[in-house]
A and B are shown apart, each in its own frame.
Chain A
């Protein structure tokens, strides 16, 4: 388990001070995968580096596995770090060591015997699918294989927590998917708690349980992945989601959208439905029961882990009483309804 409480980090001082992290609080429950997502420069790397104190927070508390890290002396911090694995965007493998020796490094550092090292490294190579690469040097490997070596290395000291700093950002989509699968796999098999940072919603969507949105050094939204994808609570959250889902109303429609309803307008709504609502024929019922016509402008169904999420942008055509009734009907069926604006009737 990882608990950050009111963690702040300022680089430099005086005129050159850069506040990279402001009062960030976050809990990653035991065995969960939490993704921190944000734009470049938002403070993601700073946040994750504060967890193992590669960057010492200016203020706040960092508790990993019940231990307050900010109060430890150098040597106690070094032992605590054996319990925290970390992987990096650029792998950071030692080019002078073979795959086997890279994975063995943390064990050598901890003073573990050669025999024991062999016993522990081999299963890790197997787990990460690298058994046939043990004697090769990193330069002979592909990016995905290098990240597998880095993962095996991070797991060698049997950590309770794994930190991933943009672990898939240097990889192509297919390789990314296989690395994410491996992370999910070790999360399940070893019960490892994972904190990862990324700028890709795809990563959050495919393996995270919880998502934290960071902007300007602040955690602006922390939610379960299911909730975040169905109903982000902040404007930034919605922007991220819309960019990811590419579900924006058509440009021609946006130009015609008015903020307020008039006597001759129709509402344009964005509907998000999950769970049972996905499989219910809601739109045809809506048309029947409220006597509105529904013109679907865009629609999409996504599966977010075990949930299915439907998204739709639609124009509700009817008089104001009918459309209001339709909106009420949708909300009563647990749909997230957002009125984007109103368009003047063309017919």
Chain B
């Protein structure tokens, strides 16, 4: 592989990591609170708001049901508004983030659902406020499940980001399509695939390690 191509591989890898990191951070920052809201507003829960819960749930489901490739195209006007352009790495971050917020939210909701109701009850008996129950009981007790959910999100983002690449989003997907597919360079294709595999393996192992560390059960 030529040095120029090698440099391209490196910069594409960094682009992918950049997209995944930014989209991952923003969707965690918004998805975790949404997941907490989805869980705690359920009927019978500490902040029971059945009407709000239904609305949040429907919005989340809509977000989850649109295939990523369609979402990406459908929200181009919004992407232009936020990123100033509809192509490039920054532009790809917008649909990536929007697709993964509801994804994260459902995974967090599921993780919180694993916390025994007895723990919430014990905290209530101690006079904890709903906010204290969230920060001192629900989130810490669900830590393993939350890290697991975020790991799944990152892995999903890696594959989505490659998809975004195919429509001009930059990153490894872009590289694979332009060199590996259009110019039929099997070497570039192979390298792209290997890097993606290594990335996914790396994040999964890191996630598993953190889950294990946080698990005292």
Q: Complex: how many Å from CA A90 to CA B121?
A: 12
Interface centre among B126, B132, B143 (most CB of A within 10 A): B126
Question: What 10 A-B pairs are tightest by C-beta distance, nearest first?
Answer: A81-B127, A92-B122, A137-B216, A78-B127, A92-B118, A86-B125, A106-B126, A96-B140, A82-B127, A109-B128
- By beta carbon, the residue of chain B nearest A86 is B125
Interface residues of B (CB under 8 A from A): 116, 118-119, 121-129, 132, 136-137, 140-141, 143, 214, 216-217
The residues of A that contact B132 with a CB separation of less than 8 Å are 109
* Smallest beta-carbon distance A315→chain B, Å: 52
Q: Complex: how many Å from CA A138 to CA B216?
A: 8
A82-B126, A86-B122 provided; 20 other pairs, C-beta below 8 A? A52-B125, A77-B127, A78-B127, A78-B129, A80-B127, A81-B124, A86-B125, A86-B126, A92-B118, A92-B122, A94-B119, A95-B141, A96-B140, A96-B216, A105-B123, A106-B127, A109-B132, A139-B217, A157-B127, A163-B125
Q: Complex: how many Å from CA A220 to CA B26?
A: 60
Q: Is A329 an interface residue (CB 8 A)?
A: no
Known: A81-B125, A86-B125. Contact between A94 and B140, CB under 8 A?
yes
The residues of B that contact A105 with a CB separation of less than 8 Å are 123, 126, 136
Interface residues of A (CB under 8 A from B): 52, 54, 77-82, 84, 86, 88, 90, 92, 94-97, 105-106, 108-110, 137-139, 157, 163
The residues of B that contact A109 with a CB separation of less than 8 Å are 123, 126-129, 132, 136
Known: A92-B119, A94-B119, A94-B140. Contact between A78 and B128, CB under 8 A?
yes
Q: Complex: how many Å from CA A42 to CA B203?
A: 52
Interface pair B141/A94, CB less than 8 Å apart? yes
Q: Complex: how many Å from CA A92 to CA B214?
A: 19
Partner of A54, one of B125, B128, B141, B217: B125
Known: A52-B125, A81-B126. Contact between A108 and B216, CB under 8 A?
no
The residues of B that contact A138 with a CB separation of less than 8 Å are 216
Interface pair B216/A88, CB less than 8 Å apart? no
- By beta carbon, the residue of chain A nearest B116 is A92
Interface pair A95/B216, CB less than 8 Å apart? yes
Q: Complex: how many Å from CA A87 to CA B119?
A: 11
The residues of A that contact B217 with a CB separation of less than 8 Å are 95, 139
* Smallest beta-carbon distance A41→chain B, Å: 19
The residues of A that contact B124 with a CB separation of less than 8 Å are 54, 81
Interface pair A96/B141, CB less than 8 Å apart? yes
Known: A96-B214, A139-B216. Contact between A88 and B129, CB under 8 A?
no
Q: Complex: how many Å from CA A32 to CA B136?
A: 33
- By beta carbon, the residue of chain A nearest B132 is A109
Q: Complex: how many Å from CA A86 to CA B124?
A: 10
Interface pair B121/A54, CB less than 8 Å apart? yes
The residues of B that contact A95 with a CB separation of less than 8 Å are 141, 216-217
- By beta carbon, the residue of chain A nearest B126 is A106
The residues of B that contact A86 with a CB separation of less than 8 Å are 122, 125-126
Interface pair A97/B140, CB less than 8 Å apart? yes
- By beta carbon, the residue of chain A nearest B128 is A109
Known: A52-B125, A54-B124, A86-B125. Contact between A108 and B118, CB under 8 A?
no
- By beta carbon, the residue of chain A nearest B143 is A96
The residues of A that contact B141 with a CB separation of less than 8 Å are 94-96
Known: A95-B217, A96-B143, A109-B136. Contact between A90 and B118, CB under 8 A?
yes
Interface pair B125/A94, CB less than 8 Å apart? no
The residues of B that contact A90 with a CB separation of less than 8 Å are 118
Q: Complex: how many Å from CA A90 to CA B125?
A: 15
Q: Complex: how many Å from CA A14 to CA B91?
A: 56
* Smallest beta-carbon distance A146→chain B, Å: 12
Known: A88-B118, A137-B216, A139-B216. Contact between A94 and B137, CB under 8 A?
yes
Can you list 13 A-B pairs, Cβ within 8 angstroms, ordered by A? Answer: A54-B121, A78-B128, A78-B129, A86-B122, A88-B121, A94-B119, A96-B140, A96-B143, A96-B214, A105-B123, A105-B126, A109-B127, A157-B127
* Smallest beta-carbon distance B30→chain A, Å: 24
- By beta carbon, the residue of chain A nearest B216 is A137
The residues of B that contact A79 with a CB separation of less than 8 Å are 127
Q: Complex: how many Å from CA A296 to CA B127?
A: 57
* Smallest beta-carbon distance A332→chain B, Å: 52
Q: Complex: how many Å from CA A86 to CA B140?
A: 22
